[in-house]
Amino acid sequence: MGNSDGYKEFLTDLLSAFGPVSIRNMFGGAGVYAEGVMFALVADDTLYFKADATSAPDFAAEGKTPFTYTAEGRTPVAMSYW
């Protein structure tokens, strides 16, 4: 799981229309932050937004799927990022 520097720059420019954002590398992916709060995840040059019980069904209705990772020797785990 990796992200290109160009994609992270693109996202920073795109999302800055809503205010200052930063992208920090973490665990092979990256977190997208605004005012110190992580609101999105970037993995394999794909942006996933944080979802909750209210917004997750909306993402699913649009045909989106949650970010899923598999730790070595374990079953896949879906996270609350869509």
State yes or no: pLDDT of 36 exceeds 70.
Answer: yes
Q: Identify the structural domains of the chain with CATH numbers, from first to last.
A: 5-78 (3.30.1460.30)
Q: Which pLDDT score is estimated for 46?
A: 95
> Average pLDDT of 12-25?
95
Task: Say which residues have a Cβ less than 8 Å from residue 23's Cβ, sequence separation at least 6.
Answer: 8, 11, 12, 30, 31, 32, 33, 42
Going by pLDDT thresholds of 50, 70 and 90, the confidence category of residue 2 is low
Greatest CA span in the chain, whole angstroms? Answer: 41
Model's pTM, two decimal places? Answer: 0.86
Q: How far is CA 70 from CA 4, 7, 32, 64, 78, in A?
A: 21, 23, 21, 19, 9
Dihedral of CA atoms 71, 72, 73, 76 in degrees, nearest 10, equals 30
